[in-house]
Structure 1
Amino acid sequence: MLFWHSQPDHYWPTPAEHYQNPTSSVYRDSLQLPFLKQEDQAQSTPVFPAFQCVLCAPSSPAVKIHEETLTYLNQGQSYEIRMLSNWKGIGDIPESRRFLKTVARVIFHDRRLQYSEKQQLESWQLSHPGDRILDIDVPLSVGVIDPLVNPSTLNTIEFLWDPSKRTSVFIQVNCISTEFTQKKNGGEKGAPFRIQLDTFRGDSEGSFTEHLYSASCQVKVFKPKGADRKLKTDREKVEKRSALDREKYQTPCETTIMTECTPWPEIDTSRSPSSTPGLNSQNNFKMTPERICASPVCASDSSTECAGEGLSPSASILDTQQWLARNRFSNYCRTFSNFTGADLLKMTRKDLTQICGVADGIRLTHALKARSVRPRLTLYITTESPVKKATADSDQSGLYQEVYLEEVSAAELTNKLADLLSVPANHIQQISRSGPRGIHVVLSDTMVRNMADESCFTATLQKLQNQDGYHCILR
């Protein structure tokens, strides 16, 4: 069992241990020449960045010097990310508003997968119901306040932290790289991910909108113990090379320092990544850290129309928009803004999944072809007045009207009969069914539940004496 909280303070590195100067010749110490006065030379002091994030996982030794570091992770294993702060502006903030918000996410590194990120994540969700791509290990985390895991974003977590205190967040990546490749050739051919952290500062109103810092690193996720085997294989490959070739590779480190990057752009279904999000570029992205629900609830729950009805081919553009909103497809109202019912019904399942993603595309396909749900009980009833009964021929039958029951109760049947007979429901004081030997049996919930489906009845109204109500008899 790991008792992380009880570790002594000397295990926590100082900022100087992480903010090491590069080993490039540009930053080498100046030569101390004998003909120069040493006191005239400017003393260079290392400049520490305001923030830095360190992933406590070793980097791969098989990465060349001018390439980005690559770190291997095991699926479902908890990895520590240390949140280091040297921010000078913390002294100007009141202690009550000193917390910062950080949004951690797992995203694709390859641009090809970024174009279909939404579809890739929804497909993964269908094959892993109830699971998340990114999770936070709260018991191991230190200094993390109010961790938030949004069910609608499987690859994102949020948390608050105090930059003046020691903070470590432990994350778990539950997907593997090979799940997002067409050919399952093992972890080495899997799709690389990026772990990115965006940090925001809160204002006086409590909303975190001011961006402070973003950092990311490239990772590959293997099945349990697979990252350890891959790290060992890379080390052996590099050691077999000549000394000259080994100089072309980076020196592996026990931890991975996440490099500063641009903030993650605003989530938009029509976004086209002109540049790789998370990598350094000149693009300025607008940050909107609000939560986005993929399937909003229907705006009107009191709608009298059935949400499960299929779309009519004669539906106009306005009717189609209202149908999309009723069936919880409000996110795609703009996408189908010029579609009529006939236009939408002509689209195939493949077309809808390409536009709306796998999950919503399949759901929209089923909704378009939905049929009315069969009622639990169907009755056929004809009305008959006493005068008509006396004068009607015995071989003449009236016209029947259907009555559909969902709750299958006496109260529901009373309301249906009142509508059918054009009488207020509160005026029907009694309702009974004709029994053997001409007796009248009081209608109850048990009797309604035991009625045979598609039974036929004749409803007769009789005026009650000394009352304004009626007695309805079913024969």
Structure 2
Amino acid sequence: MTSWDIDGGLAADFDGSLSGLGTELGTSSYNMSEALLALPVFKQENLENGFQYILGSATSPAVKMNEETLTYLNQGQSYEIKLKKLGDLSELQGKCLRSIVKVLFHDRRLQFMEKEQIDSWKMMRPGERILDIDIPLSYGVINVSLDPVRLNQLEFIWDPTKETGIYVRVHCISTEFTAKKHGGEKGVPFRIQVETYTDNDESKLLHAASCQIKVFKPKGADRKHKTDREKMERRSEAEKEKFQPSYECTVLTEVPKEQIIQASSTPQSKTQSLTSSFAELNCTTSPTRSISPTHQTASPQVAAASAANNPLPFNQGNKPEPVDSLSGALSSDAQASDVAQWLHYHRFSSYVRVFQNFSGADLLRLDRDDLIQICGLADGIRLDNALQARTIRPRLTIYICQEPESIYHAVYMDNLTLEEFKVKLSSLFGIHTQQIGDIYMQGPSQIHILLTDEVMQNTRDQARFVVEGMKDESGDKYRILLKSVVDH
């Protein structure tokens, strides 16, 4: 493959493929710079005093207008990236620049997991690199450095006053980083990013640009291009107008320098995420409901007034069973260590390292969309619900009081079991669950019905009961009677 001449004439085979750019292609004076000016991603102001990076691979025709271009690459195939400094070069005579080429994740969720994802890939493909350079084909390159740790990037020195192009190969494919591998899944998109710095002790960032890519197994990119073209041909003319044309090359779009500087200054522990293995990304189980007594706290005044007439000790100093403070909502005052414990408790252990530097306030500032991007759809929604402490509508609500016409207390039931009801009563009465013996419900003709799981499941919603309690013969436990209150 011959290098492109940015300022020279285009080859004849570009004549048809770049049609529609608003430039007359049939004239001999046509050049690549004019074509680039017509591209929607490359503006005139960038040509005056900036950098230009062009990837030698066609863009997909199946990308809608106003969306970022998408380029398909074959695994292990060499593709040229041509670099050029635009504008006045007089200040750069005799000076060199240093550029870094990286393959990064496009999805924000995977960006947070970059270190673990690369480590997992390294275990599956020992001795291989994600990105390397085809040195025999490259030109204008003075020195090349391949970091043995950062498998997804390479670095080189080049003279901006001379024609420069490097040929890179991407060895990972997009489906290798799909969480659930069951065949037929869509691969994740990557980004090729080029950063250019001054080649001195200051190492000042001058420019950065990137483009979106997907990498397929050998020949897969060609088949995907063919499929996209066939799909577009079947569309109506009106539908075709909603899509971008396919360009013969891919112009990398500028990335704000502040974004690159911020990313490089962020601690690795914050941006390099999970402790879990790659397989643990498949965790999509639903959360287990925890029983919270927040709605069953008894009024001390009512309890004290009823104590004389009822042998059941309503909050008479007996401490209830301890309630785990982690079961509730996350406090904005929580420290990073508290956040980690809260995540473990709510079964978000896989994301503890993602948020290990986050305080409670930091985590609560993330909205639903942020959490979905970081944790994926299922876990993102689940974490958002947990952070917002959204309550679950109970399956059964009953109201109990100590004597008629007194204040009622609501008891919310989720599992409709006798054991759950005992836990609720122990919290309300201020006694231990082990102190509650048999529970009876008053039935027709004043008969006493032993309360079981089945009876609980058939109890009428919104039912009201007066509670009577007395110690059994051993004196260690309380027998409780629930008397129905009927509206007259």
Q: TM-score, normalised by structure 2?
A: 0.48
